[in-house]
Structure 1
Amino acid sequence: MPQPPSRTKFYKDKRNGKVMGVCAGIADYTGFDVTLVRIMFLMTVFMSGGSTVPLYFIAGWIADNRPEGISSSDEEERRFWQGVRASPRKSARQIHSQFRDIDRRLADIESFVTSENRVLAQQIDDLR
């Protein structure tokens, strides 16, 4: 059975790309605007005398195409996965903190439901 595509892996994005989709893939991976990535790439080409062009084609040749099932239309989900790629430990701490908060709230609800609430019991008896 094939392994599902990873949301933390770099993929080239041919659908949004101009040449091979490497700049569009970098933009998707980092969360930067694709135009900014393209401008930065062109600046590095001119500043390096063209020595980065072979690196671009090597990246385009080695990198996998972005799978169809990995695209997300939800902006919040895209930001989440970009955050995971940028700082996995920070993302894990945030998720852990959110689970602790949910656990605390559930414990508060459980203690309220299971505790003796004499006022509520009296109101129920009055309704009978």
Structure 2
Amino acid sequence: MTSERTTLYRDKINGKIMGVCAGIADYTGVNAAWVRLGFVAALLTGILGPIIIPGYFLTGFLLNKKPQHLYVDREEQKYWQRVRQSPTRTSREIRSQFRDIDRRLADVETFYVTSNPRLSAEIERLR
């Protein structure tokens, strides 16, 4: 099952014609201008011209429009782009962040326990 956040959509809001290049840019995290420039370069080489134009319109008709509710903010959009690019790296980063949070919580706990002898004695009594 594919999440709606990891699906390729056409982006009509940021798109010029059908939103295909903007959708590819959103999916990959590349600037839309570079995707459009690559499309034009492939079109102008002449070799891929007969394939590029019908492929563009076919893709435009087959892809769904990007839902309005998909991303709350820019930070969430960047996160899901990283997930699509490298899920393993993203999960490794998240695990690292949780380890850091756990370490900081342990530091806070140590601070309160060692600086509060009454609390420390109560914890020892409970053991």
The answer to whether the superposition gives a TM-score over 0.5 is yes
Question: What is the TM-score when the length of structure 1 is the normalising length?
Answer: 0.78
Provide structure 2 residue ranges, at least 5 long, that are not aligned to the other structure: 118-127
In the other structure, the counterpart of 1:111 is: 110
Amino acid at match of 2:112: V
In the other structure, the counterpart of 2:78 is: 79
Amino acid at match of 2:96: S
In the other structure, the counterpart of 2:42 is: 44
In the other structure, the counterpart of 1:126 is: none
Q: Which moved more, 1:17-26 or 1:29-38?
A: 29-38
Question: What is the TM-score when the length of structure 2 is the normalising length?
Answer: 0.78
Amino acid at match of 2:37: I
Provide structure 1 residue ranges, at least 5 long, that are not aligned to the other structure: 119-128
* Local SS of the residue matching 2:30: coil
In the other structure, the counterpart of 1:30 is: 28
Aligned residues: 113
In the other structure, the counterpart of 1:88 is: 87
Kindly state the Cα deviation for residue 115 of structure 1 after the two structures are TM-superposed: 2.9
In the other structure, the counterpart of 2:54 is: 54
* Local SS of the residue matching 1:13: coil
Kindly state the Cα deviation for residue 50 of structure 1 after the two structures are TM-superposed: 2.6
Q: CA RMSD in A?
A: 1.8
Runs of 4+ in 1 over 4 A off after TM superposition: none
* Larger fraction in helix: 2
- Distance in structure 2 (CA, Å) of the matches to 1:72 and 1:46: 38
Kindly state the Cα deviation for residue 28 of structure 1 after the two structures are TM-superposed: 1.2
